[in-house]
Amino acid sequence: MNVTATVVFILFFLGVTVLGFFAANWRKGDLAHLEEWGLGGRRFGTIVTWFLLGGDLYTAYTFVAVPALVFGAGAMGFFALPYTILIYPFAFVVFPKLWAVAKRHQYVTSADFVSARYGSRMLALAIAVTGIVATMPYIALQLVGIEVVIGALGFDTTGFVGDLPLIIAFAILAAYTYTSGLRAPAMIAVVKDILIYVTIIVAIIVIPAQMGGFGHIFGAVPPAKLLLKSPDATSLNGYSAYATLAVGSALALFLYPHSVTAILSSSSGNTIRRNMAMLPAYSLVLGLLALLGYMALASGVKDMPEFAPYFKAFGPNFAVPALFLHFFPSWFVGVAFAAIGIGALVPAAIMSIAAANLYTRNIHKEFINRNMNHEQETNIAKLVSLIVKVGAVAFILGLPLTYAIQLQLLGGIWIIQTLPAIVLGLYTRMLDYRGLLVGWAVGIATGTWMAISLKLAGSIFTIHLFGMAIPGYAAVWSLIVNLVVSIVVSALVHLVGMQKSADRTRPEDYLDVVEG
């Protein structure tokens, strides 16, 4: 066991645990109301929202899986960089509208909006279930990051004793999330983001300096991993896969319940706009993070005898921990591993709260008990947030995977099917809820079939058109199918003259007015 690194790691972990419980008294509100517990009372300003969204979107997935993909698959791993650039202009335009409608009508989830906009409980149920199911593997993805770090500190991660640190970490997370709600991850996100920035800045200076500079690093990387394979007469090869991964991931990112929760917790539409202008600062850090994959390749850490058992256990996910263990003193290894560990806890907390909000508002309240008061509603949400965390732990302990990133990509295939109902619903009611439901079902089925046909080992599905092979992200192909079916079925509904459902929102809700 690396004693020094472990002590530093535990000290940081204890610090954020205290912070998590203290957060219940920060910007104090009545935590018996779901809006206070699950959305922080919609009072987070620009700075807090920036940290919260950064903690929400740039997770242990970022720290572990992106460099792991670059380490294992080369240039394809850099798709994560353009997708975070594409998403912010899209979110700048779209999500202040969603915030404005949700604020005026006291909606807590995106499914609340869908239910009111289309007058369909079943469509809202589909959106809620999709969000919860897509969130589960995303929370599990964070557990992979913690598991790798625990292993890197020298603990055996096999068997019940090996799983114990992971279970303890999430038990503590569950306790302060239950007590403080969204305020806990919002406060801890500040610590997490500072740790990540410090760790990456130090790594990007120290490691290349010890390896002879970036020229030596790129020179040592196999040429096949530096560039995407060029298109030819019969196939677009890596180009279409790279482009569709970037576009599909961008479209999916802010549809996840945890992203929507962070957005709806903002104090104004202008807070969201300012954050979409500022968040690209994280994209720079993401590019530097991805370079750690090349550094791991060039340094040869995979072939070092002391790391062989870890690479056997964790695969490419151990690339970044191996780098830090090789190049840094133990105390800084503890800081870096704390950044990864806390980088898993913050988004996992927000995700469990978001899933609980969806279940409480759009499943329990709609279909089980329509007469819940505020306190009952919040208690149900607290209980569900615990169940979601337990489910995620069981998910990852029972389903080890080579590339943690594939979990998130599979979730992306499902969550992107909610785009027509949520995003297009902010601009038009031309699509009918029956068309959207059929489109959603066909999109889910198509995307899942594509993933299964790839044996869940990846999400790049090749289609063949006019003699050309076009590999692409299954989420994009399934979304196209979803949109076509939604439009066709909606047109048929209008032609047949079936009764249109009531829209409980008002036209003035959608005026592009700068708020706050």
Q: pLDDT per position in the chain (516 positions), as tens?
A: 788 999 999 999 899 889 888 887 777 777 888 889 998 888 899 899 998 888 777 777 678 878 888 888 888 888 778 888 888 999 999 999 999 999 999 999 999 999 999 999 999 999 999 999 888 878 877 877 788 888 888 887 676 666 787 788 888 888 888 888 899 988 898 888 899 889 999 999 999 999 989 999 999 888 888 887 777 666 666 788 888 888 998 898 899 999 999 999 999 889 999 999 988 888 888 888 889 999 999 998 888 888 888 888 778 888 899 999 999 999 999 999 999 888 888 888 899 999 999 999 999 999 999 888 889 999 999 999 999 888 877 776 766 554 445 566 677 899 999 999 999 999 988 999 999 999 999 999 999 899 888 877 778 888 888 778 888 899 999 999 999 999 999 999 999 988 888 889 888 887 755 444
Q: Which residues contact 219 (CB under 8 A, 6 or more apart)?
A: 298
Any domain includes 515 = no
Q: How far apart (Å, rounded) are the C-alpha atoms in residues 415 and 359?
A: 16
62-93 residue pLDDT tens: 788 788 888 888 888 887 788 888 889 999 99
- For 317, half-sphere exposure in the C-beta direction (CA atoms, 13 angstrom radius) is 29
Provide the phi-psi class of 212: left if phi over 0, else alpha when psi is between -120 and 50, else beta: left
Comparing CA positions, the residue from 162, 193, 173, 160 lying closest to residue 47 is: 193
CATH number (domain holding residue 257): 1.20.1730.10
What pLDDT score was predicted for residue 169?
80
Single-letter amino acid, residue 438: V
Predicted confidence at residue 412, as pLDDT, reads 85
Pairwise CA distance, residues 52 & 111, whole Å: 22
Rounded Cα distance between 444 and 34, Å, is: 30
Residues 6+ apart with CB under 8 A from 306: none
Is 321 domain-assigned? Answer: yes
Distance linking the first and last C-alpha atoms of the chain: 52
Is the CB of residue 24 less than 8 Å from the CB of residue 354?
no
Residue 513's pLDDT is what? 54
Q: Is residue 124 domain-resident?
A: yes
Flag whether 48 is in a domain.
Answer: yes
Is the residue at 217 inside a domain?
Answer: yes
Which phi and psi (to 5°) does residue 505 adopt?
Answer: -95, 170
Residue the block writes with tokens 């055996």: 156
Cα–Cα dist 429/440, whole Å: 16
Q: What is the pLDDT of residue 404?
A: 46
Classify burial at 179, counting beta carbons within 10 Å of its beta carbon; exposed 0-12, middle 13-18, buried 19 or more: middle
Q: What is the DSSP letter of 300?
A: T
In a domain, 448, yes or no: no
Per the structure, how many domains does the chain have?
A: 1
- Taking the model in full, what pTM does it have? 0.90
Q: Cα separation of 82 and 240, whole Å?
A: 14
Residues 183, 38 contacting (CB under 8 angstroms)? no
Cα distance between residue 23 and residue 185, in whole Å: 9
- Is 132 part of a structural domain of the chain? yes
Distance CA 337, CA 346 (A): 14
Q: Would 366 be classed as within a structural domain?
A: yes
Tens digits of residue pLDDT in 219-244: 988 888 888 777 766 666 678 888 88
Distance from the Cα of residue 122 to its chain's centroid:
25
For 110-119, letters b (16+ CB in 10 Å) and e give bbbbbbbbbb
Full residue range of the structural domain in which residue 84 is found: 3-404
Structure tokens at 466: 């006019």
- At 147, list the tokens: 């598991």
Q: Please, which residues have CB within 8 angstroms of residue 278's CB and are 6 or more apart in sequence? A: 46, 50
